[in-house]
Every structure is written in C-alpha cells, then in structure tokens.
Structure 1
Amino acid sequence: MDLVYKIALPLVGIVIGWTIRWLYARYQLSSSEQKSLRVKQDAVKEAEQEKKSILLEAQNQIMKERRQLEKENRDRRNDVQKYERRVQQKEDNLDNKTAMLERNQALLNEQEAILANREEKVAEEEVRWQTELERISGLTKDEAKKLIIQSLENEAKHDAQALINKIEQEANLTAEKKARDVIVTTIQRLATDVSTEITVTSVSLPNDEMKGRIIGREGRNIRTLETLTGVDIIIDDTPEAVVISCFDPIRKVIAKIALERLIADGRIHPARIEEVVQKVTKEISQTIYEEGEKVLFDLGIHNVRPEGIRALGRLHFRTSYGQNVLSHSKEVAVIAGMIAAEIGADAEIAKRGALLHDIGKGLETDGDVNHAELGAELCKRMNEDPRIVNAVAAHHNDVEINSVEGILVQVADAISAARPGARRETLDNYIKRLENLEKIAMSFEGVEKVFAIQAGRELRIMVNNDKIDDSKAQILAKDIAKQIENELKYPGRIRVTIIRETRAVEYAR
C-alpha cells in the first residue's frame, strides 16, 4: 500500500501540475487573442481614418488642379482672342496698304508716261543742240570728246607733277641734310689709305744671258715653267726683263715668285722648276688664307667658313680699275658700318655684307656668271643671313634690294669706288661712256644741248623752252635716267639735270 502511495502521489502531482500549466497557458492564449484583436481593431480604425484623410487631400488636390487648368484655359482663350484681333488688324492694314500701293502704282505709271515724253523731247533737243554746237564749233562729237579728254589728261599730269615736285622738295629739305651729315661724319671718321696696287707682270734679269738659261735646251725650261704655272712667259728684245702674261692673278704671282727664286738660285732645270713651283704654290695658298683671316680680324668679323676665308684671301691678289679688291672690300665694310651706326641700322650685318659683296671675284669659275651671283651663291652655302645674301646679289642692281643694310652696302661701294684716286679708267672707255650718255640724251625730242660733267656722274641737259614746259621737264628727266639705266653699265649713279629757261631778248637802237 505504501508503495502504491509512493507511486500514485507523484503521478497525481504531475497531472495536477500539467493541468495547472494547461489552464494557465489557455488563459494566456485567450489574453493574447484578445490583445491581438484589439490591436487589429485599432489598426483598422487608424487605416480608415488615414484613408479618409488621403481621400480628402486627393479631392482637394483635384479641385486645385481643376481650378488651375480652368485658369490656364481662360488665359489661353484670351491670348487666342488677342492674337486673332491682331491678325485681323494686320489684315486690315495690309488691305489698306495694298489699296494705297495700287493708287501709287497708278500715279507712278502716269509719271513714267510723262517722264518718257519729256525724255523724248530732251533727246530731240539734245540732238538739235549737239548739231548746232557741231555747226558753230566746227568739231564733231568724237573730236570734242577727244579734245576734252586730252585737256583733262594734261591738267591731271600737271597736277600730279606739281604734287610730286612738292613731295620731293619737302623730302629733300629733311632727307638731304640728314644724309649729308651722315656721309660727312663717316668720311671724317674714315682713315683708310687709298690703295692702287698694280699687278707687276715683268721680272728683272741680272743680264741678258739669263734669258737663254730660262729658255733652256730646246725650250724645255720655259715650257716646263709655263705648263706648271699656267702662264705665258714672253721673252723679247726688252733688255734684262721678261714679261709674264696670265688672266689669273694668283698664277701670275706664283710664276713671278718662282722665276725670281730660280734666277737668284741659278739652278734652272725642269726638276728644280717643279720643286720651286710646288713650294711657292703652297706658300701662296697659305698667304691667301692668312690674308683672309687678317682682314676678318681687323674688322672684328667672326664665324666665316674656310671657303669664304680663302675666297677673301684671293682678292688680295686681284685688282679692279687699279684698285686692290680686298682693300676695297675692307674699306666698303668700314664705311657701311659707320653709316649703319649713324642711322640706327644693323652695323654688323652691313659690315659683313659689305666685306663679302665682291667675294665672287675670288672664286674660280669657267662660266659667264657675274661675280654678284657667284658671291650670293657662296654666301648661301655658308648659311649667311638672308640680308647679306641679298646685299651681295643686289649691289650692282641685278636683283631688288630688300633691306636697309643692302642699300648701305651699295652706297658704301659707290663711295669707295668714286673717291679721287681710288680707281682709274682708261681714257678710251671714259670718252666712250661720255659720248654714249650725250647720245642718249640728244635722242629725246626738245633737247638742244647736253653736257656730261663730273667725270660722267652728272648730265646737264638744255631743253627748248617752247617744247618742254615745267611738268614735261621732270618727266623728261625720269625718261632719260631710265633709258641710261637700261642701255649703259656704269659704276655708282648718274645725276640727270634738266635746265629750262625763258629768255627775253630786245635790242636798243
């Protein structure tokens, strides 16, 4: 029995505990369901209230949009009405203008008809008066027109020449004084001696027996010397002298020095001649380079290529009109540099271009190209400044000068060549040049007398006072100067002066 109680009591306790827990859980579930139900009801109420609020707000928005749309429609209708009124007004104005235009067109047609009638009458009157004028004047229409055109042309030429003379006079008042000051200042500062070195072509001999030794057995000595040097050795009846002839001045110098050394040494035979000529040739080549370097050093000019230095050195052995070409080039460089410094031009470019202006004379060539073109090509190869290339090519007016420095080179060249004693010209060429100048001037109509003065650098022309007036005198001077430029070659420039005077002659009896 005790055992039953021991077993049954726990079981009863468990059953009672489980029952209590079930009842409590049931109670809790019932409470949660009620709470959930209340929450649900509250949510439904809240949702309905939110729905009503949204519906109300939507209705208000719809009403607001509807009122806005109605207002826009009213505004659009008003705009359309205003536009229709403007269009209607414009149409009315257009109709009025069209009607006015039609009236004006009718009036214009009437005026055109009246004007056409008047033009016909004027044309008839013009023909009548033209016929009458031709009858009175004795000139046809074309003759009168030609006469009027000629009169206007003469008047225009006279006015144009008067204007040219005025401009030239005004320019001369300032430019001539300034140019004179620059030239005078340059000449004052120039201290270069006049150099007129003459190439010696004869070699003195100690006695006439030396001529036979120079000729050698069967002429082998003289043939060897002529072959090696490229000159002609002339042995004639001139006592104690032989003459060396050659167009190349350097070959002439080599032959002269070699012959003098052979005469001094006394040993004259082909082997010795060849030895001496080779030695003298090397010495002259060295002298050429040294002379080129010397002139560059004296003028302070740098960065000249070796071929340019050698070409300058060769000018030391060349003369032009009796003037040493290298000395002339150096003098031109000094003058051009001074003038450039006075007027504010590039003195270095002017000096360099002036030194190189005759460099073409130091080049060996077999063609007929003049020295200005040869020098310009050499300057291009030496990468000289384009202004220098142009100055070299244009210093004899073969091409157009495009820089102030080029003009200075040309001016300095003329100054150096035209100074008294700087150059000599043969009498025959001098007389022939003066005759050609006078002949060209006399070929123009109205010229009575021509005088070439100042060694052919000025041409004074006396003209007929009746045939040449003041305006034609200036034109005549320009025409004569242009023809001289086209037909003659001359150093420097030639001044053409026209002299026209009115003489009144009366005799007292």
Structure 2
Amino acid sequence: MVRVWIARCIKKIIIRRVDMDLSILSVFLISLVSVALGIFFGLFINKYINKKNIEEAKEAANQYIRRSESRSKEILIEAKEEAHNITLKTEKKLNRIQLDLDRTESRLETRENSIKDLEVNLKNKNIELNKLLKKSEKNQEEIDISKKEIKQKLENITGLSAEEARVQLLEEVDSDITYEISKKYRDAELIAQSEIDQKSKMILAESLQRYASEVVQENTVSAIAIPNEEMKGRLIGREGRNIRAIENITGTDLLIDEAPETVSISCFDPVRRKVAIQTVEKLIQDGRIHPAKIEEIYERSKNEIEEIVRKSGQNAVFEVNVKGLHPEIIKLMGRLQFRYSYGENVLQHSKEVGMIAAMLASELKVDVQNAKTAGFLHDIGKALTHEFEGSHAIIGADVARKYGVSEEIVTAIKEHHDTQMSSVESFIVAAADAISAARPGARHDTLEAYIQRLEKLENVAKEFDGVQKVFAIQAGREVRVMVDPEDVDDVEASSLARNIVNRIEETLSYPGQIKVIVIRESRSEQIAS
C-alpha cells in the first residue's frame, strides 16, 4: 500500500511539474506574439501619423504662402498711397517756398527803389549842406571882424586891455555864482534835512517803542565779606605764603587793608576777577587754606565760571535769536557777561544793539538776520582786548572772520566806529550802538572826564571867526553856537555849522552823534523919548 501511495504521489508531482512547464511556455509564447503584434501595429500607426502630419504641414505652408501673398499686395498698395501723399506734400511745400521767394523778391525790389530815392535825396542834402557851410564860413569871418572892432572900441572906452577886462568879469561872476550856489545848497540842505529828520525820527520811534531793556551797571568794587578778622590772617598765611599763592594762581591782586571783615579782589580781566572771587569765597567757607587747597578750589571755580560763561553766551544767543554761530563765538560772547564799558554791561549792551539793529533793518527793508547778527557781535572784540593789540572793532572783525561769519557782518563789525562806512549794515549797527549808549542811565563817566569832554567841544567851536558864545548841552550831544550877525549871514551860517562838524570829527573821539546848531540873531533897538 505504501508503495502504491508513494507511486501516486510521485505521479501527481510529475503531472504538476509538466502542467507548470506547459503554462510557462504558453505564457512565453503569448507574450512573444503580443510583442510582435504591438510592433507591427506601432509601425503601422506611426506611418499613418507621419503621413497625416506631412499633409497638415503642406496645408499650413500653403496657407502661409497665401497669407504672405495677400499681405505683400496690401503693403504694396499702402506704399503706393504713402508715396502719393509724400508727393502731394512736397509739391505743396515747394509751392509755398516759391510763393515766399516771390514775395521776398518783391520786397527787395521795393527796398532797392527806396534806397535809390534816398541816395538822390542824400545828394541833394549834401549840395545844400555845402552851400550852408560856405555861408557859415562867410558869416564867421564877418563875426570875427565885428568882434575885433568891438574889442578895440571897448579898450578905447574903458582903458582896460582885453585880458584885464576878462579877469575882472570872471571875478564878479565867480562871486555871484558862489553866493547863488551857497544859497541853493542851503535851501536844498534844509529841505533834505527836514525830510531826513522826519523819516529817521519815525523809524527810530517805531524801533524804540518796540524794545525796552534793563540797565545793568558795573559794580566797581569787588569786595568779599569775611566772618572775622582771624580769617584775614589765614588768607595771608605764614609769611604771606597763602596770599602769594592766591595771587599767583588766580592772576589777580588780593587787597587786604584795615577795612573790617572785608577783602578786595583787583584785576583788569573781569573773568579772572570773577574766578578769583569765587575761589576766595569757597576757601573761606571751607576753612582749610593752603597752597594745594587753593589750587584745587581754583580749578573747580574756573570750570564753574567757564560753564557760566558758556551758558550766558547760549542764553544771549537764544534771547536775541541769532543762528549759525560757532561755539567759540558763543563762548566769547558769554565772557562779556563780566565785562563793563562806561559802567554798562557789555553783554546786555550787545543784546540790545542786536535787537535795535533788527528793528531798524526791518523798517529800512534790509536783511534783518544780518543786521541783528552784526549788532549782537559788534563788541565781541572787547572780550579779547586785553589779549591782543588793536581796537575792539578790528579784533572783533578778525575773530568773526576766523570762525566763518559772512563778510557783510564782518564789515559791519569792523566799521561800526568808523566815519566812513561801506555798507548799509554798518550804518545800522552804528546807529543801534549810539541809540543803546544814549539811553538815560545806560552809561556813566567820571565827573572830571565829563567836564573835560564838554570843554573840548566848546573850544573847537570857539576857534572859528564870528563865533560869540558856545554852549555844550544834553551831556555833550548838542552844541549851540551863537554868532555875530554882522560877520555871519544866513547862508554862511550853514557853512559854519558844517565846518564845525568836520572839525569835531577830525579832532575829537566820542560815542554816538553830536548835533551842532548855529544861531544867528539880529536885533534892532530904538528909544522913544
């Protein structure tokens, strides 16, 4: 049984193997046939597609050719039309040019005819002119003969030669002309002066009523209060070493006298004097006074004063509203906070001049910013007059030019005290400076200098002939001259006033302006009995 079962199993295995081989073979054959059919049909379809594409390409080419032929015909028609239009335009243009040429030719012919007529007229005029010249020469000869005859008759009548008569006549005419010129000049001067006075008063009044400033005067004594007399000894130090250290470090003089509980600081430089005052005050507060401490406190005080100077300059610039200034110029303006001129604070004066100059410029239709800046900086040289030689105006102009200020402003700074000025800004700054200085209480001087200045003014006017009395009034800003009416008439009075003004300008220096008035009074007296 086992053998039979094994045989059956082997048989089944063999049958399955044979079936499997047959199935594989059949699959292979089917695949091979399918590939062959696919290749055949692919070649057939490809041939069909290629044939169809060729036909479509031929059709497209034929259509393109037909369209090209149609377009070429259209282009040819358009070109013919364009050529026809160009031909028409050219013909019109040529016709127009020909017409212009005809007109020009006609005008030229007309002008040529006119020129021929003018030539004929000119020839006729030349003929007439030659006749007139000959007649004029003949008349001149007759006049010369007549003049000689008249001259001879005059010499016989007067007994004078022609030269002597000419000199006498010229002298008489010169005298008459001089008098007439003086009279005309006086009348014109009176009219112009009246108009100028009226206009200037209006401008000044308009400017002054728009600005009012404080009056800051100099404290002439820089005194420092001390708590007791012992502090004087401590300031002096052993064998005077402390006072020598203070003077050497600060560059000032420390004056210790018998005045109770007071010491004084003396120095021509107001900034150094201010630093020294603050140094001594802090030493007194600290109580420790020796050379090392003096130097330490001095450096601290110096830095504080420099900061005050800087802030003072910035505040002044902000108050006046001046723009574009170099920081060094602002610092120099701040130093003027401690500078006084004729008892007037120079920084306050500079601010005032800047504001007044701006107002005058606005009234005169001049650049307000330039006038304001020039007025504000006009005394900047006073911050350096003790360091450089020269007038404060020249020093100030050099400093302004160094730090990039415009040349118009530099010129105004330089010329604000000159008698000859080259720009309107210079006149405005000089006027604003004089207005500020002339305000009541703005400046003060010693009594002796005041009296000497008035005496010099009066003596200048007394030097002229015909002057009887001279009075200097209004603090020396007005001079009244009384003249002899027999020696000086009304016309000569105007010339005398002008000569006195010129002499004052040449011989005296003065702030502001001086008005000269010549008074001529005629009196007629009779006694009834």
Q: Aligned equivalents of 2:167 and 2:450: distance in 1?
A: 48
Partner of residue 303, structure 1: 324
State the secondary structure of the residue aligned to 2:488.
Answer: coil
3-state DSSP of counterpart to 1:189: coil
> After superposition, what is the alpha-carbon deviation per residue over 1:430-486, rounded to whole angstroms, capped at 9, x for unaligned?
100110011010000000010111111011001111111111111111110000001
Q: Secondary structure at the match of 1:420?
A: coil
Which structure 2 segments of 5+ residues have no match?
1-126
Q: Does 1:293 align with 2:314?
A: yes
Corresponding position of 1:347? 368
Match of residue 489 from structure 1 = 509
CA distance in 2, matches of 1:187, 1:121: 74
Paired positions, count: 397
Give 1:459's match in structure 2, choosing from 465, 473, 479: 479
Q: Over residues 209-258 of structure 1, what are the superposed CA-to-partner deviations in whole Å (9 max), with x where a residue is unaligned?
A: 21111111111101111001111112122221122111111111111110
Distance in 2 between residues matched to 1:493 and 1:356, nearest whole Å: 21
CA apart distance, 1:170: 3.0
Percent identity over the alignment is 42
Describe the shift of the 1:371–1:118 C-alpha distance in structure 2 as closer, same or farther (beyond 3 A).
closer
Contact 1:232–1:246 under 8 Å retained in 2? yes
* 3-state SS of 2:442 partner: coil
Where does residue 128 of structure 1 map in the other structure? 156
Q: Give the CA deviation at 1:329.
A: 0.4
Residue 497 of structure 2 is aligned to residue 477 of structure 1: yes
Deviation, structure 1 residue 282? 1.2
Query: How big is the shift at 1:121?
Result: 5.7
Partner residue in 2 for 1:358 = 379
Q: In the alignment, which residue of structure 2 is the partner of 1:409?
A: 429
Question: Equivalents in 2 of 1:255, 1:149: separation in Å?
Answer: 76
Find the counterpart in structure 2 of residue 160 from structure 1: 181
The residue aligned with 1:449 is: 469
Secondary structure at the aligned position of 1:462 is classed as strand
1:235 equivalent in structure 2:
256
CA–CA distance in structure 2, aligned partners of residues 285 and 368 of structure 1? 24
Contact 2:497 2:516 in 1 (8 A): yes
Matches within 5 A, 1:202-213: 202-213=223-234
Which sits farther off after the overlay, 293-302 or 439-448?
A: 293-302
Q: Give distance in 2, aligned partners of 1:430 and 1:378.
A: 33
SS of residue paired to 1:499: strand
1:185 aligns with 2:206: yes
State yes or no: 1:369 paired with 2:397: no
Output the CA distance in 1 between the equivalents of 2:328 and 2:180.
Answer: 56
Q: Which residue of 1 aligns with 2:455?
A: 435
User: After the TM superposition, which residues 55-454 of structure 1 pair with which residues of structure 2 at under 5 Å, given as runs?
Assistant: 124-131=152-159, 142=164, 148-363=169-384, 365-397=386-418, 400-454=420-474
The two structures have a TM-score, normalised by structure 2, of 0.70
Deviation at 1:297, TM superposition (A): 1.0
Secondary structure at 2:304 match in 1: helix
CA spacing shift, 1:375–1:117, aligned 2, 3 Å = closer
Query: What TM-score, normalized by structure 1, do the two folds share?
Result: 0.73
Deviates further, 162-171 or 307-316: 162-171
* Residues 316, 351 of structure 2: 8 Å contact kept: yes
CA shift at 1:403, angstroms? Answer: 2.5
Cα separation, 2, equivalents of 1:396 and 1:416: 14
Q: CA deviation at 1:318?
A: 0.2
- Counterpart residue number, 2:518: 498
What is the aligned partner in structure 2 of residue 55 from structure 1? none
In 1, are the aligned partners of 2:236 and 2:243 still within 8 Å (CA)?
yes
Kindly state the Cα deviation for residue 497 of structure 1 after the two structures are TM-superposed: 0.5
Q: Do the aligned partners of residues 370 and 116 (structure 1) sit closer, same or farther apart at CA in structure 2, a change above 3 Å counting?
A: closer
- Write the distance in 2 (CA, Å) between the matches of 1:315 and 1:169: 43
Paired residue type of 1:435: E
> Is the partner of 2:366 in helix, strand or coil?
coil
Aligned 8 A contact 2:388 2:395 in 1: no
In the TM superposition, residue 206 of structure 1 has moved relative to its aligned partner by 1.3
Who is 1:468 aligned against? 488
Please say if residues 387 and 402 of structure 1, whose CA atoms lie closer than 8 Å, have aligned partners that are also in contact.
Answer: no
Q: In 2, distance between residues paired with 1:191 and 1:174?
A: 27
Measured against aligned partners, the alpha-carbon deviations of 1:486-509 in whole angstroms (never above 9, x if no partner) come to 111111000010111211011222
Letter in 1 for 2:509: K
Q: Contact (CA 8 Å) 2:385, 2:395: kept in 1 or not?
A: no
Q: Any gaps of 5 or more consecutive residues in structure 1?
A: 1-96, 135-139
Q: Distance in 2 between matches of 1:449 and 1:343?
A: 39
Which digits, 9 at most, give the CA deviation of each residue in 1:77-125, with x for residues without a partner?
xxxxxxxxxxxxxxxxxxxx9xx99xx99xx99x97x999877765654
Look up the SS of the partner of 2:209 in the other structure.
helix
What is the SS of the residue equivalent to 2:481?
Answer: strand
> Could you tell me how far 1:260 is from its partner in structure 2?
0.9
8 Å Cα contact 1:186/1:338 also seen in 2: yes
Q: Distance in 2 between matches of 1:199 and 1:115?
A: 87
CA contact (8 A) 1:198 1:319 kept: no
Q: Is the 1:157–1:471 contact (alpha carbons within 8 Å) kept by the matching residues of 2?
A: no
